[in-house]
Structure 1
Amino acid sequence: MNMNKVKILPPEIVAKIAAGEVVERPASVLKELVENSIDAHATSIEVTLKGAGKTLIQIKDNGTGIGKDDLAALFNRHATSKISTLDNLYEIMSLGFRGEALYSIGAISDITLRGKTKEQEHGWELHLRGNERLSQKPFPMATGTEIEVRELFFNTPARRKFLKSNSSEFNAMLDSVIPYTLLYPRIRFLLTHDEKKIIDLPETAHQLERIGNALHLEPRHMIEEKRGFEGMSVHLVLGDINIQRSRRDMQFIFVNNRPVQNKSISFHLNDMYRRLLSPGVHPFFCVFITIAASEVDVNVHPTKREVKIKNESQITLTLRHFSEELIMAKSKAKQFKKSIFSIPEQEQAPAPEGYSFQTENFAALKASLIHAQPAFSAGETGLSFESQPLSFKNENSLKEKLTQSHYIGNLMSKYLLFETNDSLLVVDQHAAHERINFERLKAQVEKGRIEIQRLLTPVLVKLSHQEIEGWEENKEVIEKMGFDCSLFDKETLAIHAHPRLISQPEKSIQNLLAGDSLDKLDMQTLARLACKSSVTSRYALKKEEAEYHRKQLLLCESPFTCPHGRPTVIEISDDTLEKEFLRK
């Protein structure tokens, strides 16, 4: 009887374990194959996807191609043309080098690979399924490589079961390929999904032009500079204050022409932007770092997402100082399109004589442009609103104090200060406005009628590829929210009407599209909509605006927390101040 407990795993299990490390989802396959095309010196890369890569991932390039003699070894583990000695491992400049990608992909899919070198009269086609070779035959083609990956995870149903929706998987695929389009402007990229052309970027010699075209951003809002330092060179492309994102989805770091994730560099650049952007708003930047290959270890993780950099802290500090100098010297002023804070007329509190809120809309036109739009019933939305219990012991007392208080000033353009008989009330103007807008939107949804405002001139919003796909998928739900939108061109959304309570429709649309699929208008969606339509910090409210803010907050069901659960009002008692100043 064999009592051995330790066994050598059979090759088929080893292959699937290895595939699990390298191939997490369709985006992983696309990334590895695009890297192979770039390493093959391709100047044109065409990607065809079906079913978000679950059905088909096809890559066609005009690179150096694959010869017949290399086909035999191509899908063996650790088969690579990138390195051959141990020393090569410490001076890697190619994107691939481990020899695991094709082996891992072949283990869990049906693959057809075609390749031809310039020396060959014709190409060759190899067909595998689960790394089992089914056929090899001549194939007429131009120099380059074509690879088709079908039925991904066909023999690992547990992995396939955990794939996300087509929308999420396709967005992940865009996230994986877009960094390479920025990094290699001299390569033409074409990507189609389900017969629809998504990316079509011609070759260009100008990186700024490629970045603008790939991300649908205006190059005039970018700051670019290259500079050499001891042991490294840095190429920065920084967005100015006019490029504001609701997510960190347009932040790219490249080391030696390789897209990487680096928490330290990301933190310092985002921290640097804090003095320019409001909380919850994120910048755009591209950082291209070139250092000696021996100073970088890319052999950290099978997916090659992370790298180790020698003297990373010093490099990060140098990079931060360079970025701060550049953004402070060359950043442009914010270009406002319309008023930040607006108040509906019929709910406006009586204002002192001669007072009016700032707005670019003509007062006479506003009333005629506002309509009540039947949207959908509360039951249709799937909403079930419940008043959340507050964590304040003396809610009624605090409400009474806020009612009787009077405004004394604004602190740091963030907080409204109100004085009572025995305390100071500090109101977070953004959180309070979020609560006000949230409850107004909630009330309109529950009544089945969302008030909308028609625009004399549509607001044009440039969207990323992912945001455009999100709009295409969710436009019916977005229309039910009160937005009337259409595609102005392949990268621009035209907003013709929006919910009346929304003062910044372009930011609200981007914030809605930042999440996953909007199956229905739920509490989270309303909170996101209310957040981006609310007055931000760094906008100093006037006294009349602050008083209106206070009165509207008091009308809310839950006035002392924002929709995300943060407090809107805190109280500093006279007794606390007395103790702090040692008067007691």
Structure 2
Amino acid sequence: MSDIIQLLPDHVANQIAAGEVVQRPASVVKELLENSIDADATSITLLLKNAGKTLIQIIDNGKGMSTTDARLCFDRHATSKIRNAQDLFNLKTKGFRGEALASIAAIAHVELKTKQDNDELGTAIKIEGSTIVSQEPASTAKGTSIAVKNLFYNIPARRNFLKSDTIETRHIIDEFQRVALAHPAISFLLHHNDNEIYHLKESNLRKRIVSIFGSKMNEKLVPINEQTDILTITGFVAKPEFSKKKRGEQFFFVNDRFIKSSYLNHAVVNAFDGLLEYGAHPSYFLYLDVPPNSIDINIHPTKTEIKFDNEKALYAILRATVKHSLGQYNVAPVLDFNRDSNLDTPYDFKDKKTVSTPKIIVDPTFNPFKNDVNDQQMTSNSSSGSSTKNYQSNYKKETGSWESLYANIEPIEQSTQEQLFEQQQETETGKTFQIQKKYLLSSIKSGVVLIHQSLAHQRILYEEFLENITVKEASSQQLLFPVTIGFSSADIEMIYSIKSDLESTGFVFNEFTKESVVIGGIPTSITESKITLILEQLLDDMKIEVPDASFSHFDVMAKSFAKSLAIKTGTSLSVKEQENLVNNLFSCKEPSTSPFGKATFKTLTLNEIDTIFNK
């Protein structure tokens, strides 16, 4: 039998490796930004065209590379960070495996310009699909400039899997924010299609957070600072009243590397126990500094997951630290049931050295039995008829006031009681019933139907919004006073990109600034108090992987609006509201499922009900 196993060509192997490293333009941005940081850059510029599909260019003022290193860096597993396997557990840099540039060069056109500080000339290299097209000396500034053009040009199937420019830009901005938050001492500049999105100057952590998420973030932050033998925790958490319904601003950094950890997230949420509304999520920016040999960061291709040696200890310390800070800054109440509040010293007396003893004043003439004695004398004097009559008359005067409260109240007649009972019976035998403020039970000819009130309302609103957006002319209500809503620069960029779509639903935008949106009109179907909730929900839904089609934005909007405005579980509905909900649901084109594919109702026939009781 002939041999069937063979070695893959290098260019094919590089493309396979690129499948792990480069999933979308944001993956390229992450790898290149981390390379610039490893090169000790103090200023980094990111330029994008068409959400990175056409161009991703990183320009830094780092150490640069020699001619030999410039060419060698595109070879697979060529690295300056590792000499043996043990080095994997003592890493202090971002990149270390040496597969990023090789993978990127395998699926794009790459142009590299680099120069070290002491060199007169730098090096320029052009690569297309792992093939070096040219290498020559070049006059360039100190540092490195690398341009990645036409991503996935030689793998059209992978390019077809990319989402819309709006979604891909959002992913790039997410990666950019994570790197920028981890390194506030480095200045960053981000341009997309010649529009400046971020210009972050060198600053401290608090200023960096505010510059990314807007000036209103400053008042929300509570500082965190704790140092122990096994880790140091710094950063900020947001006050509970600023919690959000979406998991947006939640950042963990371990040794200046962004990570995802549901375990550590649970510790933070646990520290907010009793302070958050149901379904709300706290915002936090937490930096953990641990010994490099106590973690393993090589367990995931994107290095966003880390394995800790002592997870339980980290959990306990993190939870206690956040809880302590919330109490220290009077965000959370501190309860001590063993403390006697009578022993608390008022603030006015904290600086006084001596406290005067209070004087005790006693009334020597006080007789607690004086009134009882007079009453006994009054009742015992039966020989005096006038005294007895006076006492009885005084009693009637005293009791007359409260007896008069019941003077005009008549007992309920039997007919009234029967009428109330009949009304109650009539209500109980209505067509719909609400169960636990979550489900509606309605009788039909073949049996009963059980309806999920929130999912059913989502379906009704979804079809209404979709019809208003695509078929009918959108109607808008003008606001008496325009509403200004603060967003981060990235969110404003996303809102602006779908501005025309939002206007077709009835929104009227008066002004866009770097940190806010001024709204002058809203669709007639929503209220002013819901504007912020709807836009935040819409931004969150825009990150969902939806196909890039001309209809997709309208569909996402309709779904987002329906989710935001639908009645929630726990809402009590009147009989009339219940009947309207049932009638409107079965008037829909697709009444059986919600906009997100969940069942809205379940029918139980009489035979199925009989089967339950005949077992």
State the match for 2:521 in structure 1: 497
Of residues 38-47 and 481-490 in structure 1, the stretch that sits farther from structure 2 once superposed is 481-490
Contact 1:26 1:169 in 2 (8 A): yes
Partners of 2:19 and 2:154 in 1: CA distance: 12
RMSD of aligned alpha carbons: 3.8
What residue in structure 2 maps to residue 110 of structure 1?
A: 109
Pick closer, same or farther for the CA change 1:227–1:514 going to 2, 3 Å: same
Deviates more, 1:9-18 or 1:291-300: 9-18
Q: After the TM superposition, which residues 543-562 of structure 1 pair with which residues of structure 2 at under 5 Å, given as runs?
A: 553=581, 556-557=584-585
Structure 2 counterparts to residues 326-405 of structure 1, below 5 A: 326-327=325-326, 330=329, 401=429
List per-residue Cα deviations over 1:439-467 (Å, max 9, x = no partner). Answer: 77578669825553322222222223443
Deviation of 1:297 after TM superposition, in Å, equals: 0.7
| Secondary structure of residue in 1 paired with 2:233 | strand
Shift of 1:119: 1.4
What is the DSSP-based 3-state SS (H/G/I as helix, E as strand, rest coil) of the residue aligned with 1:118? Answer: coil
Q: Find the aligned partners of 2:471 and 2:154 in 1 and give their Cα distance.
A: 51
Q: Which residue of 2 aligns with 1:454?
A: 478
Aligned counterpart for 2:536 among listed residues 507, 510, 513: 510
Larger Rg: 2
Residue matched to 1:339: none
Question: Which residue pairs with 2:401 in the alignment?
Answer: none
Residues in 1 aligned to 2:5 and 2:439: alpha-carbon distance in whole angstroms: 69
Comparing 251-260 and 68-77, the one that deviates more? 68-77
Name 2:77's counterpart in structure 1.
Answer: 78
Aligned to 1:304: 303
Would the aligned equivalents of 1:244 and 1:284 in 2 still touch at CA under 8 Å? yes
Q: Which amino acid aligns with 1:178?
A: Q
SS of residue matched to 1:514: helix
Aligned to 2:205: 207
Aligned AA (1:496): G
Aligned partners of 1:54 and 1:524: how far apart in 2?
Answer: 23
1:167 deviates by 2.0
Corresponding letter in the other structure for 1:207: L
- Please give the residue correspondences for 1:100-499 in structure 2 after superposition, counting only pairs within 5 Å: 100-204=99-203, 206-216=204-214, 218-270=217-269, 275-327=274-326, 330=329, 401=429, 448=472, 450-499=474-523
> Quick one: distance in 2 between partners of 1:323 and 1:518?
44
CA contact (8 A) 1:485 1:494 kept: yes
How far 1:144 sits from its partner (Å)?
0.9
Give the Cα–Cα distance (whole angstroms) in 2 for the partners of residues 130 and 272 of structure 1: 50
Residue in structure 1 matched with residue 38 of structure 2 by the alignment: 39
Offset, 1:330 = 4.2
Cα distance in 2 between the residues matched to 1:455 and 1:135: 61
Q: Whole-Å Cα distance in 2 between the matches of residues 528 and 285 of structure 1? A: 25
Structure 2 CA distance for aligned equivalents of residues 449 and 465 of structure 1: 31
Question: For the Cα contact (< 8 Å) 1:52–1:167, is it kept in 2?
Answer: yes
Distance 1:163 1:288, change over 3 A: same
Following superposition, the deviation at residue 566 of structure 1 comes to 7.3
For 1:496 and 1:60, the matched residues in 2 are separated by 40
CA 1:15–1:435: 2 relative to 1, 3 Å: closer
In structure 2, the residue corresponding to 1:510 is in which secondary structure? helix
Q: Is the 8 A contact 1:252 1:285 kept in 2?
A: yes
Give the deviation of 1:94 after TM superposition.
0.5
The correspondence for 2:558, drawn from 502, 526, 530, is: 526
Provide the C-alpha distance between the structure 2 equivalents of 1:446 and 1:132, rounded to a whole number of angstroms: 49
Question: Identity over aligned residues, as a percent?
Answer: 32
* Cα distance between partner residues in 1 of 2:98 and 2:115: 20
Q: What is the alpha-carbon distance in structure 1 between the residues aligned to residue 426 and residue 464 of structure 2?
A: 22
Whole-angstrom CA distance in 1 between matches of 2:81 and 2:256: 16
Structure 2: runs of 5+ lacking an equivalent: 333-424, 442-449, 543-547, 604-615
For residue 174 of structure 1, report the CA deviation from its aligned partner. 1.2
Partner of 2:384: none
The two structures have a TM-score, normalised by structure 1, of: 0.74
Q: Which runs of 5+ in 1 are unaligned?
A: 334-396, 419-425, 571-584
Matched AA of 1:14: A
Instruction: For 2:505, give the aligned amino acid.
Output: M
Which amino acid letter does the alignment assign opposite residue 531 of structure 1?
K
Determine the C-alpha separation between the residues in 2 that align with 1:180 and 1:398: 65
Q: Which SS does the other structure have where 1:306 is aligned?
A: coil
**Separation in 2, partners of 1:18, 1:77:** 9
Report how many residues are paired. Answer: 491
Distance in 1, matches of 2:328 and 2:601, equals 36
Greater helix proportion: 2
